[in-house]
């Protein structure tokens, strides 16, 4: 069965549009956008209000993974990992929600994580399931129970950013 590379390329481009919207909002709020690799080499060169991109972590399978963003703010005393998931039509993004959630609670070191899910293509119930397990802290134990994982669509994220960074 041939792979539909055009469909995958289209989905990837749509995901980048969501990521660019997140960058735009946070840049307007005063955050400097820097790749994690550049920042790691010169952490004092970029200031204290940062949106780092392509942020690595070791996933639950003990392989290298990357998140879209890490928001670091000395002024607001925040360190928040941000994951972006776009699904405009039926596909496999929502099937990866359990894997994403387990990575959030077991593999990502930050206590605050935001997952932005948008595109209205997820299967019925998938986003609600993700919100429910995040709110209930399902599968958490004493070692990771202090984590706050918030699921937003893009509009909710924009409202949060507007309130948070006045």
CB-CB contact of 121 with 110 (8 Å): no
Q: Which two tokens stand for residue 93?
A: 């993004």
Q: Burial of 82 by CB count in 10 Å (0-12 exposed, 13-18 middle, 19+ buried)?
A: buried
- The pLDDT tens digits for 91-142 are 678 889 999 999 999 999 999 999 999 998 888 899 999 999 999 999 998 8
DSSP 123: P
The proportion of the chain whose per-residue pLDDT surpasses 70, expressed as a percent, equals 90
Q: pTM for the full model?
A: 0.90
For residues 20-24, average pLDDT? 98
- Every domain of the chain and the residues it spans: 18-161
Q: CATH fold of 18-161, please?
A: Trna Endonuclease; Chain: A, domain 1 (3.40.1350)
- pLDDT at position 14 is 67
């Amino acid at each position: 069965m041939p792979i539909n590379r055009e469909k995958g390329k289209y989905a990837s481009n749509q995901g980048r549009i969501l990521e660019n919207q997140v960058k735009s909002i946070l840049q307007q709020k005063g955050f400097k956008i820097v790749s994690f690799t550049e920042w790691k080499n010169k952490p004092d060169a970029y200031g204290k209000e940062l949106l780092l991109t392509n942020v690595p972590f070791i996933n639950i399978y003990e392989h290298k993974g990357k998140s879209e963003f890490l928001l670091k703010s000395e002024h607001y005393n925040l360190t928040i990992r941000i994951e972006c998931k776009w699904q405009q039509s039926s596909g496999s993004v929502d099937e990866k929600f359990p894997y994403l959630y387990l990575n959030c609670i077991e593999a990502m070191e930050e206590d605050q994580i935001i997952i932005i899910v948008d595109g209205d293509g997820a299967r019925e119930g998938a986003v609600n399931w993700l919100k429910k397990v995040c709110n209930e802290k399902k599968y958490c134990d004493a070692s990771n129970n202090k984590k706050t994982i918030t699921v937003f669509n893009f509009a909710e994220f924009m409202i949060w950013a507007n309130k948070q960074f006045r």
